[in-house]
Amino acid sequence: MAQYSAQLDGVFVALADPTRRAVVRRLGRGPTSVGDLARDFPMTLPSFMKHVRMLESNGLIHTVKSGRVRTCVLNRERLGLVDDWLAEQRRIWEERTDRLEQFVTDPEEDTR
């Protein structure tokens, strides 16, 4: 459980930045080179590479180098951590609202 929590925390930290979310969104359409990705952002390549390294260190992407070109690929399975967490939260809150609805709509059984 602690390992799952640490992995989930890392994914959320990586996704907390709008630049990194934009990179993940772009890679959702397919792999692309770091150079092509970096063109869309108003920062130097070394600054952009920090974002790439953060995404890669948290398992959201992986990169492959072929010659002078480094290509980024989205790890869709890692996004499953977020999906699983959201599903669990949704289930918890639906159960709570179901209990609240039952409390509000059911007549009291103990009417002394």
Q: Output the pLDDT for position 107.
A: 66
Cβ contact 38:45 at 8 Å: yes
pLDDT confidence tier of residue 106, bands split at 50, 70 and 90: confident
pTM of the model: 0.75
* Ranges of each domain in the chain: 2-105
Single-letter code of the amino acid located at 54 = M
Cβ contact 13:59 at 8 Å: no
Cβ contact 34:83 at 8 Å: no
CATH class belonging to 2-105: mainly alpha
